[in-house]
């Protein structure tokens, strides 16, 4: 496994399947039809909706693949954004197409793995037929120029009609695990990618690529062939109970790449790496005595490398590819010398989407518990307390009083609210008396303390 981002480009004219003769064209078309007929019965539409905090409903329909007995269905984890609480995703169903008919069956959401880019539901409706699972091949050599087939669908108004797209593998990217670019657009994220021999060799994945420098980034999301090896462990052991599989976490923040100028200054030669800006308190990095301004040159013996714009992304990906609890050796440059540092990776801390919430319908606001990400992103001390405003109803009492999204509520009527449980008790005690005014002391931004006066319309 290498962390070097190496893209070897192969140029093709427009489509990519250019037959030499009409007979050959018929043969290729027949192979495409055979593969489409093979994979389509194993595809379904996963349907659900997001109930927003303002009461609005957002419907979602994503293409999924049957991957196991008992109608286990896999789909793209990107359809379940992590910043939205799981409690807001509701009404899971699986839509099975049978000719012109659409049959809908109840399903249960099992969970997701964002690093593997997959999520799962299982059909719970006893009336559902047994659907044929698609088997994904491992260890298949994908080469530049190989043709592949992917699927998309036209959406509900068109009966979720499948769309077949064919392209050729055009580039290989190591970042740090192998993925492939494909000419033309690929299908829907999370859907299978098939060879014309009928092997499922991966799914449509998404990769962030910085095509410029760190100082002036030019980020884009590239659709890639995400090989079976990237998600096979999750196929064999799907999550349960709506869980999100925790990624490995080192606990370093504000990383910058080692540019050529920095490498020259530190006399690193051709070596590259990332400069640590901040070590998060209580993290595995702090426990291993990694310090701010350390330069991490290698992870597990593999050099941190790539273009300047990709160095940080490659390093972060390399850490996330490790297992939680794994001991990893980092090669660190400090004070003109290299040293090996062994760190035990921990599970990523709870994020905003996983935080507990408390909503006041009367005041038109929701607050949530503060998480590590809040303190780190706003450069707050590790002992900062309070609750974070996560939703405000337009023209609601709280919004009209001047409360803003992301404010950290520190006190209610001069009573401290260091955590969510305390806030709930204090807020309900105060508002039960129906006062003419509820005063909140909030932290706005990094250091700005504000007094917010809310006048309830009891």
- The architecture (CATH level 2) of 352-454 comes to Roll (2.30)
- Please state, in angstroms and rounded to a whole number, the distance separating the CA atoms of residues 273 and 259: 9
What is 99-132 written as a DSSP string? Answer: TTEEEEEEEEEEEEETTTTEEEEEE--TTSPPPP
pLDDT of amino acid 27: 87
From-to residues of CATH 2.30.42.10 in the chain: 248-347, 352-454
Whether a cis peptide bond, with omega within 30° of 0, leads into 169 is no
For tokens 């559902």, name the residue: 128
Asked if residue 14 has pLDDT above 90, the reply is no
CA dist 205 and 188 (Å) reads 9
pLDDT of residue 176: 62
Query: What's residue 23's pLDDT?
Result: 54
- Find out if CATH 2.40.10.10 is the number for domain 1-244: no
Fold exhibited by the domain 248-347: Pdz3 Domain (2.30.42)
Alpha carbon separation from 184 to 26, 169, 210, 436 (Å, rounded)? 21, 10, 20, 62
Strand-strand pairing, 243-244 and 101-113: parallel
Please name which of 138, 117, 134 lies closest in space to residue 67, comparing C-alpha atoms: 134
Summarised one tens digit per residue, pLDDT across range 152-192 is 888 877 888 889 999 999 998 876 678 899 987 788 899 99
In percent, how much of the chain has pLDDT > 90? Answer: 80
Structure confidence by residue, pLDDT tens digits, 205-250? 998 888 888 878 888 888 999 999 999 999 999 999 999 999 999 9
| Residue 147 scores a pLDDT above 90 | yes
What residue spans in the chain does CATH classification 2.40.10.120 cover? 1-244
Lookup: tokens for 423: 């806030």
Total-model pTM: 0.88
- Rounded Cα distance, 310 and 4, in Å: 10
Q: Is the pLDDT of residue 439 over 90?
A: yes
Residue-level pLDDT at 442: 97
The 10s digit of each residue's pLDDT in 61-101 is 999 999 999 999 999 999 999 999 999 999 999 999 877 78
Asked if 206 and 117 count as a contact pair (C-beta separation under 8 A), the reply is yes
Structure token pair of residue 436: 């003419």
Whole-angstrom Cα distance, residue 131 to residue 405?
45
Task: Classify residue 256 by burial, with Cβ atoms within 10 Å: 0-12, 13-18, 19+.
Answer: middle
Of the pLDDT bands very low, low, confident and very high (cuts 50, 70, 90), residue 15 is very low
pLDDT computed for residue 220 by the predictor: 86
Torsion of CA 211, 214, 218, 223, to 10 degrees: 50
- Other C-beta atoms within 10 Å of 448: how many? 9
């Amino acid at each position: 496994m290498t962390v070097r981002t190496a893209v070897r480009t192969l140029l093709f004219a427009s489509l990519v399947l250019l037959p030499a003769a009409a007979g050959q064209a018929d043969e290729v078309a027949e192979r495409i039809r055979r593969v489409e007929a093979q994979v389509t019965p194993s595809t379904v539409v996963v349907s659900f909706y997001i109930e927003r905090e303002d009461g609005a409903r957002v419907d979602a329909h994503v293409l999924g693949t049957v991957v196991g007995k008992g109608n286990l269905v896999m789909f793209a984890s990107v359809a379940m954004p992590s910043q939205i609480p799981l409690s807001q995703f509701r009404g899971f169903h699986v839509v099975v197409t049978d000719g012109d008919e659409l049959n809908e069956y109840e399903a249960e959401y099992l969970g997701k793995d964002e690093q593997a880019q997959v999520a799962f539901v299982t059909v719970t409706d006893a009336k559902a037929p047994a659907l044929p699972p698609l088997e994904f091949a491992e260890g298949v050599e994908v080469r530049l120029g190989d043709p592949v087939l992917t699927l998309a669908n036209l959406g509900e108004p068109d009966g979720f009609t499948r769309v077949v797209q064919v392209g050729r593998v055009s580039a290989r990217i190591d970042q740090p695990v192998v993925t492939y670019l494909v000419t033309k657009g690929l299908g829907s994220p999370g859907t299978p990618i098939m060879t014309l021999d009928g092997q499922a060799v991966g799914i449509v994945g998404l990769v962030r690529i910085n095509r410029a420098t760190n100082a002036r980034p030019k980020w884009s999301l590239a659709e890639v062939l995400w090989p079976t090896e990237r998600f096979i462990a999750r196929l064999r052991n799907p999550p349960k109970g709506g869980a999100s599989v925790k990624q490995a976490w080192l606990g370093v923040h504000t990383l910058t790449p080692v540019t050529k100028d920095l490498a020259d200054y530190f006399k690193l030669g051709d070596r590259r790496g990332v400069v640590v800006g901040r070590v998060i308190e209580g993290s595995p990095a702090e426990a291993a005595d990694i310090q701010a301004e350390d330069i991490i040159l290698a992870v597990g013996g593999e050099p941190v490398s790539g273009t300047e714009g990709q160095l940080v992304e490659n390093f972060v990906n390399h850490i996330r590819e490790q297992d939680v609890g794994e001991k990893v050796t980092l090669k660190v440059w400090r004070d003109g010398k290299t040293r090996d540092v062994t760190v035990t990776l921990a599970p990523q801390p709870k994020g905003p989407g996983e935080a507990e919430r408390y909503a006041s319908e009367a005041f038109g606001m929701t607050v949530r518990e503060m998480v590590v990400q809040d303190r780190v992103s706003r450069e707050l001390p590790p002992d900062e307390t309070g609750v974070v405003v996560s939703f405000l109803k337009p023209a609601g009492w709280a919004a009209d009083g001047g409360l803003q999204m992301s404010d950290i509520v520190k006190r209610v009527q001069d009573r401290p609210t260091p955590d969510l449980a305390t806030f709930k008790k204090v807020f309900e005690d105060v508002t039960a008396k129906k006062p003419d005014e509820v005063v909140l002391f909030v932290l706005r931004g990094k250091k700005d303390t504000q007094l917010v006066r809310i006048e309830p319309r009891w």
